[in-house]
Structure formats: C-alpha cells, structure tokens
C-alpha cells in the first residue's frame, strides 16, 4: 500500500483527533501541513466540495473528516490494536463531541485569538511550513484572517456563547465520569476517548500535545482555562494524553 498522506492544519484539534488515531493504530503516514486558503483548491482538485481538514490521501483516493479517517484506520491497523467501541451510545456520544465540544472550543479560541490577538495565531499556522509556503501565508494572511472570521462566525458575543455551551458540555462529561469510570464508554480506550481528549486538549494543552510548542492562549481564554483546568473532565483529558498519547 502506498504511504498515506494526512493533510492537516498545525493548530486544528480535529486534525489532532485523526493524527492520534493513526499513531495509536500503527499506521505509517506522511504529514502534510496545509496553508489556510490554498487548501481549498487542493481539496477541489481531488473532487471534494468542502475544504475542511483533515484529509487522508491514499493515492488517487481521499478520505475527508476525522471520524471517516478513524474508520479507515481501524480497518487497516497494523499493530493489533483497536479503537472500536460496541457500546450502543458510543457513536452518538462521538457525534455530540464533534458537533458541540469541537465546534465551540474552536469558536471560543478564535473569537478572541483571531479577532483580537492574531499575532498568536499566525506563527502556529506557519510552524513546519517550507519557506515558500510561509511567504504565501504571510502575503495572504489579511485575507485568510478575514475569511476565517466570517466562516466561523467569530466575535466577542459568539465567544461568550461558546463558553456557556462548553460549560454545559463539561458538566455533562463531569457527570459521565462521576461514577469513577476510566473511559467514557466501555472498558477500554476507544475512539470516543480520543475524540473527547483531542477536542478538549486545546483548553489544557497537555505536555504530549503535538503542537504545544509555540501555542498560547489569548488573555481571557487563559483565565477561563485556568479556572476549568481542575474540572474532572479536563483532568481526565490530561490523563488520557499521559497514558495513551
């Protein structure tokens, strides 16, 4: 099999979800850091209507989205490990994490960082890019930033809304963990755990987080993250990274 190529943004937590799963399942792949903006044309070139990352390229075939990539990785694992979970509500929990936790962690971060503190975002996007891609991003950054703000519906009010939604989602996760369970569903580490931990990792930034170097929170989010850090769900995230990443 030709070595898969995983297209990612350096800073994306959905990309981290796919990376973690591929690493855990022993898939040998090449990491391709994409530039925001030009990634859309690359996706269309492969017949995709949307440009959202991650994308796994398998020769002429592409698989888009972290959950679909995990499906493929599960079927092609090389080390005997599995992330499958037979618990009936596992798929619904993963979907909720993707649709609620992932979306609002992203909007909370970018509503402050990209709108008010763009100087902390651009260096992370530039990390590990070649010099030509860095130049392209430098030149296109004002337009990229504007488009991202529009596309993700960012602003102070939106960030406050996302913070309130995340408070409720953390209450839900704290409730799941209140019975002392080690994993969110089932008796073994699964894709549900990777989903929750990777999507929340941007809040607590574990030592094992691949893009930890050079990453920082904007001021208000830094305070919120410090207040949330001792919550059971976020302590659990740190534990999942320490044990499985």
User: What is d(CA 160, CA 1) in angstroms, rounded to the nearest whole number?
Assistant: 47
User: What is d(CA 45, CA 51) in angstroms, rounded to the nearest whole number?
Assistant: 10
Residues 103-160: tens digit of each pLDDT: 999 999 999 999 999 888 988 888 888 899 999 999 999 999 999 999 999 999 999 9
Range of the domain at 23: 5-75
Is residue 82, in this structure, part of any structural domain at all?
no
Is residue 85, in this structure, part of any structural domain at all?
no
pTM: 0.93
Tell whether 212 and 98 lie within a shared domain.
yes
User: What is d(CA 180, CA 143) in angstroms, rounded to the nearest whole number?
Assistant: 48
Is residue 203, in this structure, part of any structural domain at all?
yes
What is the CB-side half-sphere exposure of residue 12 using CA atoms within 13 A? 20
What is the arrangement of strands in the sheet containing 5-8, beginning at the earlier edge strand? Answer: 30-33, 5-8, 55-58, 61-64
Is residue 116, in this structure, part of any structural domain at all?
yes
Residue 19's domain is classified under what CATH number?
3.40.30.10
User: What is d(CA 113, CA 98) in angstroms, rounded to the nearest whole number?
Assistant: 21
Residues 69-108: tens digit of each pLDDT: 999 999 999 899 999 998 889 999 999 999 999 999 999 9
Tell whether 117 and 177 lie within a shared domain.
yes
Structural domain tally of the chain? 2
Q: What's the count of helices (H) and strands (E) in the chain, helices before strands?
A: 11, 4
- Tell me: pLDDT of 210 over 90: no
Tell whether 186 and 160 lie within a shared domain.
yes
The residue out of 43, 75, 107 marking a domain boundary is: 75
Tell whether 106 and 203 lie within a shared domain.
yes
């Amino acid at each position: 099999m030709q070595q898969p190529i995983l297209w990612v943004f350096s800073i994306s937590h959905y990309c981290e979800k796919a990376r973690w799963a591929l690493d855990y399942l022993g898939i040998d792949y090449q990491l391709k850091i994409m530039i925001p903006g030009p990634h859309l044309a690359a996706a269309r070139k492969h017949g995709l209507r949307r440009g959202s990352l991650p994308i796994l390229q398998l020769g002429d075939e592409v698989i888009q989205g972290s959950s679909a990539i995990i499906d493929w990785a599960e079927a092609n694992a090389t080390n005997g490990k599995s992330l499958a979970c037979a618990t009936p509500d596992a798929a619904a929990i993963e979907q909720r994490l993707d649709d609620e936790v992932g979306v609002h962690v992203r909007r909370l971060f970018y509503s402050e960082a990209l709108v008010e503190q763009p100087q902390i975002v651009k260096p992370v996007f530039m990390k590990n890019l070649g010099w030509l891609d860095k130049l392209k991003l430098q030149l296109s950054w004002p337009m990229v930033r504007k488009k991202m703000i529009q596309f993700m519906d960012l602003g102070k009010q939106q960030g406050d809304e996302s913070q309130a939604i995340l408070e409720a989602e953390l209450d839900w996760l704290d409730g799941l963990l209140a019975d002392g369970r080690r994993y969110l569903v089932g008796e073994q580490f699964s894709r549900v755990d990777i989903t929750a931990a990777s999507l929340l990792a941007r809040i607590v930034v574990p030592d094992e987080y691949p893009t930890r170097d050079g990453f920082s929170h904007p001021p208000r989010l830094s305070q919120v993250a410090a207040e949330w850090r001792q919550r059971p769900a976020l302590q659990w995230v740190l534990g999942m990274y320490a044990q499985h990443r």
